[in-house]
Structure formats: C-alpha cells, structure tokens
Amino acid sequence: MDAGPFAPLPFQASTPWLAPLAGWSDLPFRLLCRELGAAVCCTEMISAKGFVYNSPGTHELLNTLPEDNPLVLQLFGAEAPFMAEAALRLKERGFTWFDCNMGCSVPKVTRTGAGAALCRDVDNALRVAEALIGAAGPGRAGFKLRLGWDAAAAGTWKTLARELEARGAGWLTLHPRTARQGFTGQADWQALRELKTLVRIPVVASGDLLSAEDGLRCLAETGADTVMYARGALRDPAIFTSHARLLQGLAPSRPDAATLKARILRHAELARTYSSDRAALLKMRTIVPRYVHDLPGSRALRLAVIACRNWDDFSRALDSCL
C-alpha cells in the first residue's frame, strides 16, 4: 500500500479507534477521545451526495484540525458517481482516509439504498466501492459492514469481504449484527473471527464493546487487528485510557467525581471552542447524564444538567453536585 506522504493507519491491539457516531463523533468529542488515548477517530457519517450538493449542515461535519489525525472520514451513499466525486473533492481538501458506511440501518438512510441497504444489492455495493477506491486510492478506503440485511441473508458479509478485498479495500470493519437486528440481540463475534481468516487486510472489530474489558476480550477471542469503541466511548471516553492500562496489566481507569468534573469541563471547553455556543450547551446537556450515569447519587446532577438553559446554570449544576 502506498502511504504517500501520510503515515499509515495503525491497526494494532494497542491502537483502539473511535467509531463513527452520527451526532457525536464531531471535532470536540474526537479531540477529547484523542487526549484520552484514541489512536484513530472516525467522523460522523457524511452524505456523499449532500456534500457534492453542499447541503445545509454537511460543511460543519468536515471540521477538523491538524492534531485531529489520523482521521477517517466516513461517507454514505448509494450512487457510485457521487461517491467518487465526493472523495475526489475531499481528497483535494486534504482528507486522506475514507470509510464507506455499509452498516447503517436507520430507515432515513436505507430508504435511499445507502448504508446497510447496500448489503441487499451487492452489485451496487461493489460499484459504490470501486468508485470510492478509484477516487481515494488503493488501500485508502475501508468499508464498515453488518452481517447482512436479515437472518436469511446473514452471510452477505462474506461475499462483500472477499470482493472488497479484491478491489483494493484498505481494511474492513464488521459490526456483526444484521441490519434488521439494529442493536438488539448480541453481536456475533464468531463472525469477526471468521472474517479474520477470510481476508488478509486488517479487520476492525465493532459490536458490544461497552468497556475496555470487552475490547480486550474481543481482540483475544476474534484475532481482530484492533477494536472500535462506539457506545462505550459515549458512556466513558476514558475507555481508551482503560484499554491502554489493561494492556499494561493495570486496573482500568475508574474516575472519581473530581476527575469526571474535569473531563466534563474539558469537553465543554472543546465544544464551545469548535461549535456554536448553543450547539455546545445542547451537546453537554445530553452527554453529561451518560458520563455520570454510574456515579453514585448522580440523579440530581442529571436532572439539573438536562434542565440548564445557559452556561451559568451548567456550572452551578456541576459545582453543586460534583
């Protein structure tokens, strides 16, 4: 793989990734996760067509900084020409690594034939993939898969994996549930183990990695090259620190109230610096209840934060409860 002037992406047990998280893996959250040990971060999914047509809101999803690196930009779309056009223009703007969303099961996305709906039309999925790889360059694009559309087609990932590797995919990520399953049931890590034996390109594991212990267990059980934290990072962005600590044989990080408060204030600072004040406050009102969920006696704080109307209310809520 020609890494050109860019460092290759790391795919090791010691280099966990932050997953693409629509509404969440924005620049402030990515910077926070990087400070806490995320080795690679993914953007939220971005519509290839929306980007080409300059749709409202698309531009903000591209916010980045030199220290927000390595960064994987995730695109979704069902039309190969838009995928190619978007990737070419984004490359001109300095983006290096791309991921194609073949796993999103939200009807708004699948109705357009994109996301997990691509599993239902493998021919089109491969046209979209060829377009992306052709524009991004061999090895520069990954693909994020589900098992298939539903239980009857739960083997689609095997066809896609082989064909995508043959076409020059740089890596594959598998969230081993069907699209129909959404987030129900259990992620089938056995499929991740099989994927590792099926392809030679790196495999990134996703699915039910809610703690660093889950991450390490998944690596050991599946042989995946690395893991991608999603809901686990939304609950506790220090999951990356815990991951590193566990690899060193240390106990995971268990933040006390003071550490949590400092982390919340840091996230708020990043959010206020890199997004509008209003958007930052709304984000913090939603994320803080997740961060403090496991803290004994956090109910009062959760209620106070959800109700706050400005940053003074926010500070008062933190000061009175943490």
Which residues sit at the interface with ligand FMN, rule CB under 6 A? Answer: 19-24, 44-45, 74, 101, 103-104, 144, 175, 206-209, 230-232
Judged by beta carbon, residue 37 or residue 103, the one nearer ligand FMN is: 103
CA distance to 6, 60, 287, per residue, from 55 (Å) = 29, 11, 27
Least Å from the CB of residue 320 to ligand FMN: 29
Q: How far is the CB of 47 from ligand FMN (least distance, A)?
A: 11
Distance CA 225, CA 145 (A): 16
Evaluate whether 246 touches 216 at the Cβ level (below 8 Å).
Answer: yes
* Residue 124 near residue 78, CB atoms below 8 Å: yes
Q: Which is nearer to ligand FMN, 19 or 271 (CB)?
A: 19
> In this complex, which beta carbon is closest to ligand FMN, that of residue 82 or of residue 229?
229
Active-site residue flag, 41: no
Burial of 296 from C-beta contacts in 10 A (0-12 / 13-18 / 19+)? exposed
Q: How far is the CB of 5 from ligand FMN (least distance, A)?
A: 27
Length of the chain: 322
- Give 20 or 137: the residue with its C-beta nearer to ligand FMN: 20
Of the candidates 33, 100, 104, 119, the residue annotated as catalytic is: 104
* Residue 128 or 322 with smaller CB distance to ligand FMN: 128
Q: In the bound complex, what is the minimum distance in angstroms from residue 232's beta carbon to ligand FMN?
A: 5
- Smallest gap from residue 297 Cβ to ligand FMN (A): 27
Q: Which is nearer to ligand FMN, 32 or 318 (CB)?
A: 32
Closest approach of ligand FMN to the CB of residue 257, in Å: 26
Catalytic site residues? 104
